[in-house]
Amino acid sequence: MLITKGDELKIVYPQDGLDPSNFLDLDFEVFSLQPMDNPEYKNNLKQSLHYCRTHPEWRLSLQTHKYLQVP
């Protein structure tokens, strides 16, 4: 990883072999999980929400423009 500090670290979740807890030692103000947008999106959203609820240092990030149908 090239960048180790900043305002926000956003991770697309879930990804094979990626554990969000491994990033908490980096110097970011906000840690966000964004559900992976693929055919399993509903399940990815459920997993991301569960992770954020059980790990409150993480926030859920959604692509609101898609829900509003804005390109």
In DSSP terms, 61 is beta-bridged to none
Here the tokens at position 58 are 């993480």
Residue 53: is its pLDDT beyond 70?
yes
Does residue 70 register a pLDDT over 90?
no
Residue 18: what residue type? L
Tell me if residue 22 falls in helix, strand or coil: helix
> Mind listing the pLDDT tens digit for each residue in 9-44?
999 999 999 999 999 999 999 999 999 999 999 999
Three-state DSSP state, 1: coil
Confidence band for 67, pLDDT divided at 50, 70 and 90? low
